[in-house]
Amino acid sequence: MKIITRNIWILSLVSLFTDVASEMLYPVMPIYLKTIGFSIILIGVLEGFAEATAGLSKGYFGNLSDNKGKRLPFVQIGYAFSAISKPMMALFTYPLWIFFSRTIDRLGKGVRTGARDALLSDEATPQTKGRVFGFHRSMDTLGAVIGPLAALVYLAYYPNDYKTLFFIAFFPGITAIAITFFIKEKQKEQTKPKTKTRLLDFVRYWKESPATYRKLVGALLVFTLFNSSDVFLLLKIKEAGYNDATVIGVYVFYNLIYALFSYPLGILADQIGMKKIFISGLVLFAVVYLGMAYTENKIIFIALFFLYGVYAAATEGIAKAWITNICKKENTATAIGTYTAFQSIATMLASSIAGLLWYSFNPSATFLISGIVAVGVSIYILRIRP
């Protein structure tokens, strides 16, 4: 049986082009916002509001996709929202317009996430979920390598020309939308009764979900609370004496390792079990964060970012693959949407907790506590039984 099917290839290419567009802007977004008059506080409010929108919409639209029994329309609309938001950010610089544009981008992610992952799950068997989600994650993350590199090359020739970069990012985004029209959704019988979908209905799924789902997702959310933004890792190496170009280069290196290892680790997860690979990833995370707490050596930083890329490859796609094997097929988008909705909220809180530890104590405290929590969560997940 063919494991990486036509639909998986297409969905992976769509994610690749979308990530090229998004990651092209990721390094310059805070700089651009500051140049148009945004304060650090306003940037924080903007990102918090955008993440909250993404979180709620992931749960709602995942649930709606299951209730409608459709995936493709949510995928197409979600990627379209993300694509059109890029040039919108550069058209006008009024704060309300920027808030609207950024929210449209995050709303697009919310609309598509559950439905897209359900489509991927529909293309796989329980024995091939690891490699399917690993392959998709690999292609997606490859976009996070190409995007920042493209931005670096452009800004090398046209320094400070951030606005044009937002318009350039529209082209890979529109390419992604065009590719979605080649996806063929399998016709399936509607097994769920049609009901009206309310905004917070996905929360109810938490009570109805299998006990294993609640245990796994609960552990993942505790880990997320102490898994702060990658910005803190980059800030640590910046303080160690790296210049801006090198910091971005290290971020690209991390994404390259992430992309290269996602598919092989997905194959390994199918062979030896997702739990073993996932726990191995958490152990690597603990090593990286404990290392960050105690080292100032530039060579060791590079080694730690290599391990950090392997950690991401062993956990991101594997977590979703594992969840889709736990939940019922007709609830796949709801299960993923509920997890990613709560994850978005936990991610918002995580950076606040990390920042508080960083400034109240010292950077080492931030990394030390995150590493210890990762060890605790890995021990808990080890005890989860089907």
Nearest alpha carbon to residue 85 among 63, 59, 111: 111
Nearest alpha carbon to residue 97 among 84, 109, 88: 88
**Residue 198 belongs to some domain of the structure:** no
CATH, residue 278: 1.20.1250.20
**Residue 1 belongs to some domain of the structure:** no
**Residue 64 belongs to some domain of the structure:** yes
- Residue pair 371/301 in contact by the 8 Å Cβ criterion: no
Q: pTM above 0.75?
A: yes
**Residue 41 belongs to some domain of the structure:** yes
Q: Which domain holds residue 173?
A: 6-184+203-382
Nearest alpha carbon to residue 221 among 323, 345, 115, 383: 345
- Residue pair 129/265 in contact by the 8 Å Cβ criterion: no
User: Which pLDDT belongs to residue 49?
Assistant: 79
**Residue 333 belongs to some domain of the structure:** yes
Give the Cα separation of 302 and 310 in Å (integer): 13
**Residue 190 belongs to some domain of the structure:** no
Give the Cα separation of 53 and 104 in Å (integer): 9
Tokens 């995928």 correspond to 75
Tokens 């796989």 correspond to 124
- Residue pair 338/62 in contact by the 8 Å Cβ criterion: yes
**Residue 104 belongs to some domain of the structure:** yes
Task: Work out how many domains the chain is built from and give that number.
Answer: 1
- The one-digit pLDDT tens for each residue of the chain (386 residues) are 689 999 999 999 999 999 999 989 877 887 788 888 887 668 767 877 787 788 889 999 999 999 999 999 999 999 999 999 999 999 888 888 998 998 999 999 999 999 999 999 999 999 999 999 999 999 999 999 999 999 888 988 988 888 899 999 999 999 999 999 999 987 766 555 667 788 778 888 998 999 999 999 999 999 999 987 787 888 788 777 877 778 878 889 999 999 999 999 999 999 999 999 999 999 999 999 999 988 888 889 999 999 999 999 999 999 999 999 999 999 999 999 999 999 988 888 887 788 888 878 888 888 999 999 999 999 999 998 86
**Residue 39 belongs to some domain of the structure:** yes
